[in-house]
Amino acid sequence: MAKPKQIINDPKYAVEEFVHGLLKQFPNNLVKLQNHNVLLKASRRSQVQLLSGGGSGHEPSHAGWVGEGMLTGAILGGIFASPSVVAILGAIRCAAGTDKSDAVLLIVKNYTGDRLNFGMACEKANLEGIDCQMVVVADDCALERSKGITGARGVAGTVLVHKIAGAAAAIGMSLSEVSDLAKVVCSRMGTMGVALNAVTVPGASEVNDRLDESTIEIGLGIHGEAGMKKSPMLTSDEIAKELLSKIESYGRE
C-alpha cells in the first residue's frame, strides 16, 4: 500500500509548529496563552468575546478566523481531538478579562468531544462569575434526521456563524442578542461536501484508499466519517445538483 505524501516534520509536534508559525507571521496581532495551544487577539476592546476551536487538522480553522469582527480566540486540540477543558476554561478566563467584565460566547461544532469539553468549561466559567454561553453548529445535511442529534455534524457553515456573530459583537450587541442571532443562523443553514479521496491522518503509515480512483463520496465527514453515499465520478453540474437537492430537502426546524 502506498505511503502518504505529507509536508510535515513530526506529527507529534505539528500543532505546536502551526501555532508558532502563526505567531511569527502575525506578531502584532496574536498572542499565545501560556502552556496551552490557544491563540488570542493581541488587543481587544470591551464587547462580547467569541471563542471557538476543536481538533486540529482542518486549517485554517479555527486559528485562521481570529481577528477583528470575528473570533477573539481559538482553542486548538490535537489532530482530530477536542481541546481539553482546562485549555478552554483558560481561554474563557483570558477573554473575559481579569475583572470578568466581558461576556463570552463559545461557538462549537456538533461533535461529542467538543460538546462535552466546551460545555463543561462553560459551566465552570459561569460558576466563577463569568457570563458565558455556548452555541452548537450542526449544519451538515449528509445524514438523515432519524440518526439523531449526532447526525448533523458541524462543518463549513461554522465560519459563517463566526462572521455573523462576530459582526454583531463588534457593534455592541449583548451576549443574549449575539447568541440568539447565532442560533437563528444555525437553524437556517445547511451544507454538504463531496470528497474525491478518503481522509489520511497525518502520521499514518499508509494512504487510506477506501475510495478508489473512480469513486467519490457525497457528504464525507471532516474526519473521514461515512457520508450520505458513495458514487461514481460525476461532473461539476451533477455534483451541484446532488448537493443542493439534499440540502433543500433536508429542511430546518
Residues designated as active site = 223
Query: How far is residue 188's CA from residue 19's CA, in Å, rounded to a whole number?
Result: 33
Residue of 43, 82, 83 whose CA lies nearest to 66: 43
Residue with cell 470578568: 100
| 34 CB neighbour count, 10 Å cutoff | 8
Q: Is 235 helix (H, G, I), strand (E, B) or coil?
A: coil
Check if the beta carbon of residue 186 is closer than 8 Å to that of residue 138. Answer: yes
Report the phi/psi class of residue 251: left, alpha or beta, with left for phi > 0 and alpha for psi in -120 to 50: left
Residue with cell 481531538: 81
Query: How far is residue 159's CA from residue 112's CA, in Å, rounded to a whole number?
Result: 19
Query: How far is residue 103's CA from residue 154's CA, in Å, rounded to a whole number?
Result: 24
Rg (CA), the chain: 19
Helices 85-96 and 112-127: angle between axes, nearest 10 degrees? 50
